[in-house]
Amino acid sequence: MSEIAIVLVEPLHEGNVGFAARVMKNFGFSDLVLVDPCPWGDLARACAMHASDVLESALTLTLEEVYSEYQLIIAATGAISKSVCRSIRMPYYTPKEIREQIRNVNGRVAILFGRENRGLSNDEIRRCDVICTIPASQSYPILNISHAVGIVCYELADIPRGTYRLAEREEMECLYEHLDTFLDRIDHPGFKRANTLLMARRILGRTRLTTREVSTIHGILRRAEWHMREEKESR
């Protein structure tokens, strides 16, 4: 994957710088660039928590340096209001779409986040290659900058979901068969049988059982059957 730098343009609050560093590291990003930042120190470090490495290794660059040193420059902007000059801000892409766009880029990508109070200027946006906007509620579309960084990093991260073993189709069919014989064993009325099995299939189908869960359900059914058989044989 291409190297992706998160660039904070003139951040005003050091807490946000720290929070941005933290959430970057949460999603595996470490290249933080600060353009003319507010002074920062203990509060930024406190907010960064265990991401102080990201914070301490942040580069301080000028905007000119950013524009010249990165090959693809993405402007992250707040939700677009209709009044904003369309020629500047259109078209724009969601973080999901940006993910697709940079998938095949081999080079240095910079994503610019603007000031807390007034974002990026139209001039700054004009010099970017792509506009990224997080879809947000019309009633309050402006995210805190570190939350915007978090959502962009979340979408661009390549973190595999941890796995556990889901039951195979065959294991599920075997479970449905077991349920069928169990219903038989408890004299479940035949005219209801098809509906009940269908319901079981719906319930267990949508729950996506793990292999371990399937085996536990078999175990409970077997144990109940054993009790029925045992007591029948002892008559």
* Positions in the binding site for a second copy (CB under 8 A): 19, 22-23, 25-28, 47, 49-51, 79-80, 86, 90-92, 94, 133-137, 139-144, 146-147, 150-151, 154, 157, 159-162, 164, 182-183, 185-188, 196, 199, 202-204, 206-210, 213, 216-217, 220, 223-224, 226-228, 231-232, 234-235
Considering the complex, state which of residue 123 and residue 203 has its C-beta at the smaller distance from a second copy.
203
- Closest distance between a second copy and the C-beta of residue 198, in Å? 11
- Closest distance between a second copy and the C-beta of residue 46, in Å? 11
For residue 149, report the phi and psi dihedrals to the nearest 5 degrees.
-60, -45
**Residues 5, 32 contacting (CB under 8 angstroms):** yes
Considering the complex, state which of residue 62 and residue 193 has its C-beta at the smaller distance from a second copy.
193
Considering the complex, state which of residue 24 and residue 66 has its C-beta at the smaller distance from a second copy.
24
Whole-number Å distance between alpha carbons of 219 and 156: 43
Q: Which of 100, 76, 102, 97 is nearest to 2 (CA)?
A: 102
Considering the complex, state which of residue 158 and residue 170 has its C-beta at the smaller distance from a second copy.
158
- Closest distance between a second copy and the C-beta of residue 63, in Å? 25
* Cα–chain center distance at 73: 22
Name the amino acid, one letter, at 73.
Answer: I
**Residues 200, 179 contacting (CB under 8 angstroms):** yes
Cα–Cα distances in angstroms (integers) from residue 129 to residues 14, 76, 135, in the given order: 28, 11, 19
- Closest distance between a second copy and the C-beta of residue 212, in Å? 8
Assigned token pair, 38: 């507010």
- Closest distance between a second copy and the C-beta of residue 35, in Å? 23
